[in-house]
């Protein structure tokens, strides 16, 4: 037998409606509903409390007549409310009535109307053009060029050019000093390159005149720059000459087409260096025997490839002082050109 309680009551009621209850069960259900009238859906509404219908007698007192300020007269308030279009209907009626009846009130309202401020159109912001904005879409190749330049500069300032090649270059230059002097005596074009490229400007020599070997056996440039003597040689054509120290530039010898002696053997390091020089830097490894790379060599090669790829002319040139230290870097391209002085202070 099913249990009949408050939880199962709805099930019992449904069964009763659908005629599934036996007489006994129906008797039980009705008896239960008589004992628990609050559970019967039909009688529940009757036993709930309902709010009595009552009305507050002084409701009118509770309405807000409007906004008031303690230190403001009613006349002022009415005038401002009318002026600001802020009055309640009752206030508007009161305002209109007072205007009609009281000339003083009318004058007060007229005074209030004069307090409305008018903007001065003569006041204008100077140079409004500076506030305007324009979106410029930079083509991809410009991004490429700028990025390349930025990377090169960044790389330069992070990794100072390796001065380790200087000794090697000096050594090579000294080794071929006799040939330089000989070529110079003959006014051979190769000596033009050698001398000019060993001067202040590496890629863009100002003066491409050949060096002159004087009777006093000292080597001078034609622009009378003083040269730091390095060592004394005994040349066939000159009893004793002073030879200038060439600044670090591995490709000087390359350009002069001076063939150094081939190496007898190659380490893995040297082979890799040659490979990179040949395939990446586009240099002839037979002419440049250094296994160390200057950052400038990489930068030159990178810029050259980028310029070829973009079909633009771009160039980086360096300016050295007389001591062979890098003084200034120049970058030029159709889009951007700049010169950056190089500090000799060590990077931190």
Window 128-147: residues binding another protein (CB under 8 A): 128, 130-135
- Write the binding mask 198 to 237 for another protein: x where contact by CB under 8 A, - elsewhere: ----------------------------------------
The rounded distance, in Å, linking the Cα atoms of 64 and 58 is 13
Residue 74, interface with another protein (CB under 8 A)? Answer: no
Considering the complex, state which of residue 117 and residue 264 has its C-beta at the smaller distance from another protein: 117
Tokens coding 10? 């709805």
Bridge partners for 180 per DSSP: none
Residue 346, interface with another protein (CB under 8 A)? Answer: no
User: 59 near 43, Cβ under 8 Å?
Assistant: no
Residue 80, interface with another protein (CB under 8 A)? Answer: yes
Q: How far is the CB of 117 from another protein (least distance, A)?
A: 4
User: 261 near 176, Cβ under 8 Å?
Assistant: no
Considering the complex, state which of residue 66 and residue 144 has its C-beta at the smaller distance from another protein: 66
The rounded distance, in Å, linking the Cα atoms of 339 and 51 is 91
Considering the complex, state which of residue 24 and residue 130 has its C-beta at the smaller distance from another protein: 130
Q: How deeply is 69 buried, as exposed, middle or buried, from its count of CB atoms within 10 A (0-12, 13-18, 19+)?
A: exposed
Considering the complex, state which of residue 108 and residue 196 has its C-beta at the smaller distance from another protein: 108
Q: How far is the CB of 156 from another protein (least distance, A)?
A: 33
Window 235-294: residues binding another protein (CB under 8 A): none
Considering the complex, state which of residue 35 and residue 115 has its C-beta at the smaller distance from another protein: 115
Window 11-40: residues binding another protein (CB under 8 A): none
The rounded distance, in Å, linking the Cα atoms of 177 and 171 is 10
| Range in contact with another protein (rule: CB under 8 A) among 70-78, 169-177, 248-256, 314-322 | 70-78
Which residue reads 């002026």 in tokens?
Answer: 83
- H helices, E strands: number in the chain: 14, 7
Which residue reads 């053997």 in tokens?
Answer: 265
Rounded to 5 degrees, φ, ψ at 154 are: -60, -45
The rounded distance, in Å, linking the Cα atoms of 289 and 250 is 9
Window 103-122: residues binding another protein (CB under 8 A): 107-108, 110-112, 114-120
Half-sphere exposure of 15 (CA within 13 A, CB side): 16
Residue 126, interface with another protein (CB under 8 A)? Answer: yes
Tell me the C-alpha to C-alpha distance, in Å, between residue 32 and each of 37, 47, 225.
8, 17, 126
Residue 4, interface with another protein (CB under 8 A)? Answer: no
Residue numbers of the site for another protein (CB under 8 A)?
A: 67, 69, 72, 76-77, 80, 83-84, 86, 107-108, 110-112, 114-120, 123-126, 128, 130-135
């Amino acid at each position: 037998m099913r249990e009949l309680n408050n939880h199962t009551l709805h099930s019992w009621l449904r069964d009763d409606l659908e005629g599934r209850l036996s007489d006994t069960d129906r008797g039980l259900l009705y008896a239960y509903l008589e004992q628990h009238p609050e559970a019967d859906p039909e009688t529940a509404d009757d036993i709930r409390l309902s709010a009595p219908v009552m009305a507050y007698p002084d409701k009118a007192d509770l309405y807000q007549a409007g906004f008031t300020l303690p230190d403001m007269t009613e006349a002022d308030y009415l005038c401002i409310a009318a002026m600001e279009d802020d009055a309640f209907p009752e206030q508007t009626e009161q305002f209109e009535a007072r205007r009609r009846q009281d000339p003083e009130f009318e004058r007060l309202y007229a005074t209030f109307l004069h307090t409305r401020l008018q903007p001065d159109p003569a006041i204008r912001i100077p140079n409004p053009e500076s506030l305007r904005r324009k979106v410029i879409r930079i083509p991809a190749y410009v991004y490429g060029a700028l990025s390349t330049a930025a990377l090169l500069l960044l790389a330069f300032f992070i990794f100072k050019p390796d001065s380790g090649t200087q000794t090697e270059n000096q050594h090579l230059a000294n080794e071929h000093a006799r040939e330089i002097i000989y070529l110079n005596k003959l006014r051979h074009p190769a000596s033009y390159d050698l001398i000019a490229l060993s001067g202040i400007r590496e890629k863009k020599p100002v003066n491409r005149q050949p060096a002159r070997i004087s009777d006093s056996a000292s080597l001078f440039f034609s622009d009378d720059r003083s040269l730091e003597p390095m060592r004394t040689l005994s040349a066939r054509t000159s009893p004793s000459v002073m030879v200038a120290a060439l600044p670090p530039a591995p490709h000087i010898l390359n350009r002069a087409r001076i063939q150094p002696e081939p190496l007898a053997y190659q380490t893995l390091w040297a082979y890799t260096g040659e490979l990179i020089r040949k395939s990446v830097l586009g240099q002839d490894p037979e002419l440049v025997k250094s296994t160390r790379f200057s950052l400038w060599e990489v930068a030159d090669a990178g810029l050259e490839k980028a310029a070829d790829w973009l079909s633009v002319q771009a160039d980086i040139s360096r300016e050295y002082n007389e001591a062979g230290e890098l003084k200034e870097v120049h970058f030029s391209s159709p889009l951007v050109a700049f010169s950056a002085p190089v500090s000799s202070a060590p990077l931190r």
